[in-house]
Amino acid sequence: MTISVVMDDITDCKVDAIVNAANTTLLGGGGVDGAIHAAAGPELLAACKKLHGCPTGEAKITKGYQLPAKYVIHTPGPIWHGGTRHEKIFLQNSYRNSLLLAEKNGCETVAFPSISTGVYNYPIKQAAPLALNEIHQFMETAKVVKDVTMVCFDEQTFAAYQAALANLDGE
């Protein structure tokens, strides 16, 4: 079982499932959400409309359509409000519930973006270790999921996840 950190475009990942940092409507938006919707094609939006949204921290799954990934797991992460509105718990739930859905759907390989650290303003220095700890804990008992990749979009995010991974390995 492996956890890795790469700098890449998540829409190019050839994995069983990519995770979409969605909004609660699941109807597309900016950032990674918009990129995934654009790359997957209009079938993704049609499938998401049938899901009737998703609460923050929960996760729902669709096919990947025109993406190289078989599935897209949609999870709305929390909007940062200074840490006063249970953002940490919601972010942990986003990662855990996405992995549970991957496991339930037979996904051995999963690629995550950095959830909530873009337009939702979750501080990357807090989000990266939280995300990797949550993934690591899940992997200790996972039956199906074997390989999780954090796919970073920019240098700052990549550096934060590399540092968090190094600290994780050092435990």
Q: Which of the residues are catalytic?
A: 33
- The rounded distance, in Å, linking the Cα atoms of 168 and 171 is 6
Residue 102: strand, helix, or coil:
helix
Q: 43-59: buried (b, 16+ CB within 10 Å) or exposed (e) per residue?
A: ebeebbeeeebbebbbb
- The rounded distance, in Å, linking the Cα atoms of 140 and 142 is 6
- The rounded distance, in Å, linking the Cα atoms of 112 and 149 is 6
Q: Is the CB of residue 97 less than 8 Å from the CB of residue 134? A: no
Q: Is the CB of residue 73 less than 8 Å from the CB of residue 98? A: yes
